[in-house]
Structure 1
């Protein structure tokens, strides 16, 4: 199923969504790469930081969403940065690729664990591959979403729409893939304790990401009814405090350099 993205809603929680990208790319120690790819670049705001970090490099941002690429190309960006619509499933690194960054994208690609070995094998010695995926599919935010979707009211309309707890692997799974492909690799996980503001902040958060398939599959009225039921469960799982709502978010990182 094709997911329609809203670039403005996606960047609503910019500070929280951006931090894993910078934690990931800080471990990419490429000196003067000539060709850099941001695979699944979204609205391109973070891709721009790669162009600024490596001004001598050709930086290419790729995303399957025309809405995201439209937002990226409309924004002001340096001359060494370009964007294009492309599907991750059909992509292969060019022979001269020095750095590949893919941030919070591969969880949307069910076969990504089968694609990774071919991508890594295509890289030349010295090239870097850095990936980050959310590791929170067992968190209440996702479990409750699936429970509502699987309830009698919604089951027929949402069957097969949502990803399940096997959408991503564990750090050790990815580390093994990288090492088997001839990479010197580092894998780790971080759980960010995010403090969100507003009356229903977790619902607002997932509206920009995990809830998109549901919103795409339902009519406007049905989506509102689903959100009301789901939001009531979220409010119990993530209670609001005087200082805000704590929303733990686990993420999985892997960075490797081809030997």
Structure 2
């Protein structure tokens, strides 16, 4: 997959930051010394952590150098490191491991989630938010188009391009046996969008990338055109002329025993 585009990602920053703020609001820590933001992107979520824990050492990690460059410019007081969540390990046990809209790109959650939880200091918190929208029209249609000619050969199996989530009960079971408490919930945000093109633009910054990145320019153009036509049919205009984009997200906040 080609690298992430911070400018495109940040074009819908308010919508992307709202669940990050909602996740942090449920973190049951009055203070923290060591905080890590896994998959920090351009630093919008890291900024929330710096504001919440001003005395903490806050470190953002990401696998994209352009995202990290944007984050460093935004938050020079924080530390940002290149890293892979699948193999990431801190030098000292964190009080908070925070991952907003990142772990859906990392495989093998049955191993990953318990491993991250085990890295915490006593009383520490693992806080996760992940898009849970594989069955929404935005994501069903990208797979549907990807399975058709002339795009299918270049894209390959569309079902392998993002980790399938376990469900709230699955994540609860992974954590509850070792945790002092597990708080898990699902929210479907409703985002009024100006047009079908605006929906495609938003999704192009994240979910569509693995589908369009392998395509040569002419196939990328035709794929996005066909996807846009189907999005327009799936999201009719509401009474104010805007399109209502449902965006379900899953949240898990687990605290380690002290």
Q: Give the TM-score category using the shorter length.
A: over 0.9
SS at match of 1:72: helix
Q: Considering only aligned residues, what root-mean-square deviation do their CA atoms show, in Å?
A: 1.7
Instruction: Name the counterpart of 1:37.
Output: 36
Distance 1:67 1:183, change over 3 A: farther
How many aligned positions are there?
256
Q: 4+ residue stretches of structure 1 with deviation over 6 A?
A: none
Deviation digits for residues 6-29 of structure 1, max 9, x if unmatched? 101111111211110011000012
- For residues 80-132 of structure 1, what are the alpha-carbon distances to aligned partners after superposition, in whole Å with 9 as ceiling and x for unaligned? x1111101111024433100100001111122332111121222211011000
Alpha-carbon displacement from aligned partner over 1:170-214 (angstroms, at most 9, x marks no partner): 111111111133341100000111111145221111111101112
Equivalent position of 2:120 in the other structure: 123
Equivalent runs, 1:162-241 vs 2, <5 Å: 163=160, 167-198=164-195, 200-241=197-238
Judge conservation of contact 1:138–1:165 (CA < 8 Å) in 2. Answer: no
What residue ranges of structure 1 are gaps of 5+ in the alignment? none
In structure 2, the CA distance between the partners of 1:41 and 1:166, relative to structure 1 (3 Å rule), is closer
The CA distance in 1 between the partners of 2:163 and 2:119, in whole Å, is 26
Q: In the TM superposition, what is the alpha-carbon distance from 1:164 to its structure 2 partner?
A: 6.3
Give a deviation string over 1:131-183, Cα, whole Å, max 9, x none: 00011101111111101100132111110355468621211111111113334
Equivalent in the alignment of 1:7: 6
State the secondary structure of the residue aligned to 1:62: strand
**Counterpart residue number, 1:136:** 133
Q: Answer yes or no: is the 8 Å Cα contact 2:129–2:250 preserved in 1.
A: yes
The TM-score normalised by the length of structure 2 is: 0.94
Hey, what's the Cα distance between the residues in 1 that align with 2:93 and 2:162? 36
